Structure 1
């Protein structure tokens, strides 16, 4: 039995699936909304955040957007936050630098509204 047609179909499906928004470019409105979500999330869930500076917006492999930056002007207080752009602009995950502020006490067990 020749498996080439099956392999071609699988390859085609993968190619089409991976090419969705492959340019990585979101419009300004989408980027602005994602950044507003990140800002609200950080202010409502972490202590003593006075300033947020965004430095990078990128498409992640799962179709969301990764927003990166620093807080309070501290180059060691970095963050990278995955935003679910295709669904509801919710925060999917966060990576934090070594001097990133701690979570607010009331937001440790559950994420506070943002």
Structure 2
């Protein structure tokens, strides 16, 4: 009986520990605003024909960063941003997204 109780207790501890490491960090409005400004600057400096940018709900990304979501010219995007220095780590884009500028295809242009 002690062995079964020990196994059950160990299982509960292990399952509880899995939830401790999950990222539930939330960011203040100032951090989100700076991240959005960085994302907008990134798109305007690295993509052609960026006419309008609209932001939607922002979330935490799985790697501990901040995920900025929105649309550019009616095409959806999600951009992972490092909340410490506001660099854009990666971008996910849907069909109809503006093309990358020629001079920014080999390396990211300043933003």
TM range (shorter): 0.7 to 0.9
> CA separation in 2, counterparts of 1:70 and 1:47?
15
Superposed displacement of residue 15, structure 1: 4.4
Q: How does 1:31-50 map to 2 (within 5 A)?
A: 31-50=32-51
User: Residue in 2 aligned with 1:89?
Assistant: 86
Structure 1's unaligned 5+ residue stretches are: none
**Runs of 4+ residues over 4 Å off in structure 1:** 6-9
**Residues 25-61 of structure 1: CA deviation (Å, up to 9, x unaligned):** 2110010001001000000000010210001200112
1:17 matches 2:21: yes
RMSD over equivalenced CA pairs, Å: 2.2
Q: How does 1:1-114 map to 2 (within 5 A)?
A: 12=17, 15-18=19-22, 22=24, 24-72=25-73, 74=74, 77-85=75-83, 87-114=84-111
| Secondary structure, aligned partner of 1:56 | coil
Structure 2's unaligned 5+ residue stretches are: 1-6
TM-score of the aligned structures, taking structure 1 as reference length: 0.78
Q: Which has the larger radius of gyration?
A: 2
> CA separation in 2, counterparts of 1:61 and 1:94?
14
